[in-house]
Amino acid sequence: MSYFDYIYHRLFGKSGASPTKVLVNEIIQRSQSFLDRFQAWKSSDTCADFLNDLWQSYFWQRKGVDKDPHILLLETTYSNGFAISYEAKYGKNNFRYLFDYLADQAKLLDYRLVISRHTMQERGDVVELKEMHYLKPKRGCVEPIDQKYGNVQIEYIEENDKPTRIKLIANSYPDRKYKQADDFENLAEYIFSIK
């Protein structure tokens, strides 16, 4: 590939690739009926069993043992997280509620919700729905600042009206004015517990 072709592809994408069309880009607004069902789910045995299975899977995946449900781990110096791939046996509603539950759990750890966004894009024959919660620790005034686990981003993704995955990523600051980030495993254990 020539240098010109490389620049052209970087600027305009590959020829023949389907253009992305943004259909929706808005703040998430939950209906009262959704919130009522979500609250009922949080106190159900279904929720408790699902969260326990997720914690066990996460725990064993850290030790190199695959369990069901399968969790993909992300572990780098400044970013840690996981992705959970959807399977029909989890139930679509169960999976969707998990997305909001993870954000609620982070808020209990003194995080503030910065933004909750809902986007829908069309790429060829695929319509992708993505919901995202972005949370930051409540800031102190004294340095070094306690960054807790870093900023937390949670995403729920559907393709053609079918759930595909939930991702949670915590990004920490390497800056000297922040304390070292807390151990991500503690965050995972907390968010997969019933509170």
- The per-residue pLDDT for range 54-69, each reduced to its tens digit, is 999 999 999 999 888 8
Cα–Cα distances in angstroms (integers) from residue 131 to residues 30, 48, 56, in the given order: 12, 23, 26
Distance CA 195, CA 191 (A): 9
Whether 38 contacts 47, CB under 8 Å: no
Q: What is the pLDDT of residue 24?
A: 86
Distance CA 114, CA 140 (A): 16
Distance CA 48, CA 94 (A): 11
Q: Can you read off the two tokens belonging to residue 78?
A: 């400044």
Condensed to tens digits (0 to 9), the pLDDT of residues 139-177 reads 877 888 899 999 999 999 999 999 999 999 999 988 888
Q: Which residues of the chain have pLDDT under 50?
A: none
Phi, psi of 11 (to 5 degrees): -80, -40
Report the 10 Å Cβ neighbour count for 61.
Answer: 16
Q: What is the pLDDT of residue 139?
A: 81
Distance CA 129, CA 150 (A): 26
| 19 preceded by a cis bond (ω within 30 of 0) | no
Q: What is the pLDDT of residue 69?
A: 85
Q: What is the pLDDT of residue 103?
A: 97
Phi, psi of 150 (to 5 degrees): 95, -175
Whether 170 contacts 152, CB under 8 Å: yes
Number of alpha helices (DSSP H) and beta strands (DSSP E) in the chain:
5, 7
- Sign (positive or negative) of CA dihedral 33, 35, 40, 46: positive
Whether 116 contacts 131, CB under 8 Å: yes
Q: Show Cβ contacts of residue 47 under 8 Å, excluding neighbours closer than 6 positions.
A: 41, 94, 97, 101, 194
Whether 135 contacts 113, CB under 8 Å: yes
The model carries a pTM of 0.86
